[in-house]
Structure 1
Amino acid sequence: MNATTAFYPIGTPGIAWGAAEKAEWLSRQRRQRSYADEVVGEIDRLRERFDVVQYGQLTYADETHALFALRNRDWNDALPVVLVTGGVHGYETSGVHGALRFVDRHADEYAGRANLLVAPCVSPWAYERIHRWNANAVDPNRSFRDDSPAEESAALMRLVAPLRERVLVHIDLHETTDSDESEFRPALAARDGKPFEPDGIPDGFYLVDDSEHPQPAFQQAVIDAVAKVTHIAPADAEGKIIGSTVVAPGVIRYPLRKLGLCAGMTDARYKTTTEVYPDSPRATPEQCNAAQAAAVCAAIDFALAPR
């Protein structure tokens, strides 16, 4: 299949979707798992040890989902803020459960050293559908900007706004999956009336640094920690990962804020987007969750280290 023969079953090739096509797409989405059971249940279990903040509520048709973040109990305005986000793309499972794993198993290690704010599942509607977009066929991870078209993104931005200049570290937990190539990229091309350009899926973990404010030593520290848990994605034959030049083993760069990406929403000195590959025959769900948690710990450890 190439760019001229690729076809998505909704819409007309070369013509961007209108309301009818988006409605047809929405009608095909099916609830496949429970945000209340799998995510909110875990958050409730952590209430004995952490403060839980409801920072918004999503309503799509007759469905309502509360949006939650966790904070350490000993919040101290004199300390730097660490922001951890997961599930901006709801289908990226280890982003959600890796964030929760970090809170459960590692957050206490930073008591008195940093303030932790963790939003483990930014997009609960998409979590339940195992999808990239929200119910309006909008990608929340291209929507972290003023007048955001995604309420998921806007709600998180409102939560973080008072802390934006105090955030030292922001690590946003994601996955790159086989379904990116089989479903989500073709759907994106169809939605926007563009040809689908096939690409490869990297086998392994990688990071997306900020091309406008790169921090190579920080990215390397995260890669080194994760390499002890799961394998790092190699560059392809052109020296690239998902079309971007590899600047160090397992590291590419995007202009995070310009693209409206979650990791670019603050003025954090240290920021990165993780990308785990859960479909690899060399990785298990347990490894993926552990890799995300290890990345968070490494990011905080590097940022807090004396220099």
Structure 2
Amino acid sequence: MNTAAAFYPVGTPGQPWGAPERAQWLARQTVQRSYAAEVVSKIDALRERFDVSQYGELDYPSGRYPLFAIRSRNWDEALPVMLVTGGVHGYETSGVQGALQFVDQHAADYTGRCNLLIAPCVSPWGYERIQRWNALALDPNRSFVPDSPAQESAALMALVAPLQGRFLVHIDLHETTDSDESEFRPALAARDGKPFEPGEIPDGFYLCADSLNPQPAFQQAVNAEVAKVTHIAPADAQGQIIGSPVVAPGVIEYPLKALGLCASITDARYTTTTEVYPDSPKATPQQCDLAQVAAVRGALDYALAHR
């Protein structure tokens, strides 16, 4: 029971997908919620207090999706820029809703202290279908590379390019869900023609730091703020979280740029990727949103105090 065929209905075990398999996978994806109703309407409600701009548009046969960024209204060229991204994986709901909640309830607290740039839903096609990949069966969060094949990733990189050299923080909001193990990792194994090897989903919040710029005190400050809202994920029996060694409570490290991860797209001194566990019996959806908000606040507060 450790082959892709045992877990995923698309493709032939041991053979990477071609165009027919990708088309078969795409045909399985259905709209389950509304980007316009759940995200764009909330962005529109912020227009009186913040500057909202469209920085791109996804163009798929199934439809077009405008991409929006929210900025501090009183942008000050003398201040550092703080980037918050959510919904790089569209199915990770609290990343999107947490980013929007942060803007609505807390962004004004940072007026005159920094410039905020928030891209709350990088992958709206995936948001509507509760899907990790985009319509081409590509993972946007492995596609932040030059000449990216993912529209979502390319658009975000173009948004931040003019501001390189000015970023102090980039915090990218994510979730680790039970569906990672039941759907998305089996799909990945099937797509790439590899065997599926079951893993363990951590129960709680954790962070992924950049192994080339880990900033451990910053990561600990973010987790300390989140711990006021929800629980931090413990290490498994091997001292790991999702297969990576735990370097501090609730912290693992990845080589962000080498993997094409979103948190690598700026030259910010402080970067991190949040991971909330929405399927925990010990956390509600509201707590998951609040955990993302707390993480953003913890990141900004630490960075402003340690510029």
Superposed pair shares fold, TM > 0.5: yes
Q: Which residue number corresponds to residue 81 of structure 2? A: 81
Amino acid at match of 2:200: G
Amino acid at match of 1:45: A
**CA contact under 8 A between 2:95 and 2:173: conserved in structure 1?**
yes
Distance in 2 separating the partners of 1:4 and 1:131? 18
Distance in 2 separating the partners of 1:167 and 1:192? 35
Q: Which residue number corresponds to residue 132 of structure 1? A: 132
Amino acid at match of 2:295: A
Aligned pairs for 1:1-307 (under 5 A) are 1-3=1-3, 6-306=6-306
Amino acid at match of 1:124: P
**CA contact under 8 A between 1:7 and 1:13: conserved in structure 2?**
no
**CA contact under 8 A between 2:4 and 2:190: conserved in structure 1?**
no
Offset at residue 306 of structure 1 (A):
4.7
Distance in 2 separating the partners of 1:216 and 1:21? 42
Q: Secondary structure at the match of 2:259?
A: coil
**CA contact under 8 A between 2:4 and 2:186: conserved in structure 1?**
no
Distance in 2 separating the partners of 1:62 and 1:216? 43
Distance in 2 separating the partners of 1:32 and 1:125? 11
**CA contact under 8 A between 2:172 and 2:262: conserved in structure 1?**
yes
Cα offsets for 1:269-298 (capped at 9, x unmatched) = 000000000000000010000000000000
Offset at residue 203 of structure 1 (A):
0.2
Structure 1, 211-220 or 58-67: larger mean CA deviation: 58-67
Distance verdict in 2 for CA 1:295–1:4, change over 3 Å: closer
Distance in 2 separating the partners of 1:7 and 1:182? 8
**CA contact under 8 A between 1:83 and 1:116: conserved in structure 2?**
yes
Size of the aligned set, in residue pairs, is: 307
Q: Secondary structure at the match of 2:104?
A: helix
Distance verdict in 2 for CA 1:50–1:11, change over 3 Å: same
Amino acid at match of 1:265: I
**CA contact under 8 A between 2:90 and 2:128: conserved in structure 1?**
yes
Structure 1 residue ranges (4+ consecutive) displaced by more than 4 angstroms after TM superposition? none
**CA contact under 8 A between 1:232 and 1:250: conserved in structure 2?**
yes
Q: TM-score scaled to structure 2, two decimals?
A: 0.99
Distance verdict in 2 for CA 1:148–1:306, change over 3 Å: closer
Offset at residue 165 of structure 1 (A):
1.6
Distance in 1 separating the partners of 2:181 and 2:235? 17
Distance in 2 separating the partners of 1:181 and 1:62? 27
Offset at residue 5 of structure 1 (A):
7.0
Distance in 1 separating the partners of 2:194 and 2:7? 11
Offset at residue 214 of structure 1 (A):
1.0
Distance verdict in 2 for CA 1:4–1:81, change over 3 Å: closer
Q: Secondary structure at the match of 2:164?
A: helix
Distance in 2 separating the partners of 1:239 and 1:305? 32
**CA contact under 8 A between 2:4 and 2:13: conserved in structure 1?**
no
Amino acid at match of 1:207: L
**CA contact under 8 A between 1:175 and 1:278: conserved in structure 2?**
yes
Offset at residue 3 of structure 1 (A):
4.6
**CA contact under 8 A between 2:3 and 2:13: conserved in structure 1?**
no
Q: Secondary structure at the match of 2:59?
A: strand
Q: TM-score scaled to structure 1, two decimals?
A: 0.99
Unpaired runs of at least 5, structure 1: none
**CA contact under 8 A between 2:181 and 2:201: conserved in structure 1?**
yes
Offset at residue 249 of structure 1 (A):
0.2
Offset at residue 196 of structure 1 (A):
0.5
Q: Secondary structure at the match of 1:55?
A: strand
